[in-house]
Amino acid sequence: MSTTSISELSAQVRRLRKQDAWWKNPMLGRLAIILALVLVLSILTNQVQGSSSDYTLLFKSSWFSSRGAQYVIGGVLIWIIAEAWRIQGLRRIAGQTISVAGRRTALIVPRSFTRQYSRLAGFFRWLIPNRWFRRVLVLAVVAVAIFLPYLGLFTLPYFQSVLAGQVGVYVLAALGLNVVVGWAGLLDLGYIAFFAIGAYTTAILSGKLPVGADGNPEAHPPIHLNLFFAFPIAVVLTMTAGLILGAPTLRLRGDYLAIVTLGFHEIVLQLAKNNPHNLTNGPLGATGISTFRFNLFGVHYDWNPTDSKPYWFLAIGLILIVVFAFRRLEHSKVGRTWTAIREDEVAAAASGVPTVKYKLMAFMIGASTSGFAGVLATAKITAITPDNFPLQLSIFVLAYVIFGGMGSLTGVIVGASLMTFLPFFLQGPPSWFNSGKPVVDPKDIPMWVGAVLLTMMIFRPQGLIPSKRRAQELAQAEHGVGDADAMTEPAEGVAP
């Protein structure tokens, strides 16, 4: 067909090779993105608003100033650290050189640096698989977590409240979502709907809902229970809700399922707002929800909403139970089946897996964990309105899971903890450090959180502590083998 001569072809190759210029190195592309991000941040956080006499004032003060230089230096530092981290991450996933694309890396990172770095990483690689080391490490981490409210800045009630009401609750929720998204590969954008169901269940069981038709909050709530009983009931209810949502929709795949779950979240929210049968008290919600009591074997203890520590301890206990259960699940036949469904649903079905049943199971386990977290959160904040459960929250929890590393329990715990803690840390306690001022302007907090997520996704899309399998999927996709996106449909039509 083609009759191109060899000399012509050689000329073409030479021309194309010339296009492979050093400045097309993806590393430099990432630097450019980071610098662009930094410049935008430096403008958006600038106190100088601009001036009618000097139109360039804003740019001068945010870019061409010591402030601008600080931002740029900060950005470059982040870039250097992140690149080193990225290389290390890819090394660990893909082994030696190919993913780092030898020649290109050598341009920027000195060999000696990477060698030393990998020697350090090698030491930890030897240490981490050691069973006893791991056990001690886990125990140490749990111990630190328990004593956290007595350490450093966590002695402040503000941060104790963040720990119990945010970190604990959302770690729990993210763990559940990890089952759905990370293991079974189902994109659930309405996850907080189950959280809301758990919360409303708590309000009803504690005797604050439904309020009487005359508007008197104390009219006739039928049930008054110790909130510990709310856990099993909420779990059963949210599981049922998961079943009701899942059974008809889990035949859908990928994007379609995501849209349906999105709709489900909205339905639950509107139900709560519309106050069916006075059950939810509409937009006013419930207040003064009683909290946990312990009264068994002669031991009596009341959780007091003004002291966050006991809630934190309870949260740790619940997280430990859930993590233990999920770890067993992950390495069981069920976990293996979920992975198979995520990798190739058709092949899984062909191997005899009832895929809908297993997807439903993942969905229900996720939903019940969300309900679990909802009970804990409600007991802590003691007042709920529909506005406590915006769609945004569903997306945030998903972001925590992805940030930490989909499919990895450790990753999800670390990711959710950091990401829930970060905005409150930036907001800062009234009189702690930074001479009593918030770390950044409170209005800028979502922007900073967004910047962290963005940087993370550019440099380490597999998440902070990725699961081995997920990381491999991603690394393979970078080499053009397979598909990293669990949300896509399985390959079809290879041979009929």
Partner 1 sequence: MSDQASTIPAPRTEASPSDNAALLELSSVEVAYGGIVALKGIDLEVRQGEIVALLGANGAGKTTTLRTVSGLLKPRSGEVRYAGEALTGIPAHKIVQLGIGHSPEGRRIFSRMTVLENLQMGAYRFKSVSQKDLDQVFELFPRLQERRTQLGGNLSGGEQQMLAIGRAMMGQPALLLLDEPSMGLAPLIVAQIFEIIERINALGTTILLVEQNAAQALKLAHRGYVLETGEVVMSAPAGELLNDPRIREAYLGETAE
> Token digits for 374?
């909802």
Name the H helices within 250-406.
254-274, 309-330, 333-343, 345-350, 355-381, 391-404
Decide if residue 2 touches partner 1 (CB under 8 A): yes
Decide if residue 317 touches partner 1 (CB under 8 A): no
Decide if residue 392 touches partner 1 (CB under 8 A): no
The stretch among 7-15, 118-126, 240-248, 329-337 that binds partner 1 (CB under 8 A) is 7-15
Residue number, 97 or 155, with CB nearest to partner 1: 97
Decide if residue 488 touches partner 1 (CB under 8 A): no
296: helix, coil or strand? Answer: strand
Out of 29, 50, 95, 212, name the contact with partner 1 by CB under 8 A. 95
Question: How many residues interact with partner 1 (rule CB under 8 A)?
Answer: 34
Out of 4, 112, 216, 306, name the contact with partner 1 by CB under 8 A. 4
Q: Is 459 within 8 Å of 30 (Cβ atoms)?
A: yes
| Site mask for partner 1 (CB under 8 A), range 18-57, x = bound | -xx-------------------------------------
Q: Is 294 within 8 Å of 311 (Cβ atoms)?
A: no
Positions 122 through 161 that interact with partner 1 (CB under 8 A)? none
Q: Nearest CA to 60 among 156, 68, 372, 254? A: 68
Least distance (Å) between residue 259 CB and partner 1: 20
Q: Nearest CA to 469 among 458, 482, 454? A: 482
Least distance (Å) between residue 99 CB and partner 1: 8
Is the Cα dihedral 73, 79, 81, 84 positive or negative? Answer: negative
| Site mask for partner 1 (CB under 8 A), range 162-201, x = bound | ----------------------------------------
- CA dist 438 and 424 (Å) reads 10
Decide if residue 492 touches partner 1 (CB under 8 A): yes
Decide if residue 306 touches partner 1 (CB under 8 A): no
- CA dist 433 and 6 (Å) reads 71
The stretch among 87-95, 190-198, 376-384, 399-407 that binds partner 1 (CB under 8 A) is 87-95
- Give me the phi and psi of 51, to 5 degrees please: -150, 145
- CA dist 312 and 376 (Å) reads 10
Residues 6 or more apart in contact with residue 417 via CB below 8 angstroms: 167, 171
- CA dist 466 and 470 (Å) reads 7
| Site mask for partner 1 (CB under 8 A), range 421-460, x = bound | ----------------------------------------
Provide the binding-site residues for partner 1, judged by CB under 8 A: 1-7, 9-10, 12-14, 16-17, 19-20, 93-99, 101-103, 475, 479-480, 492-496
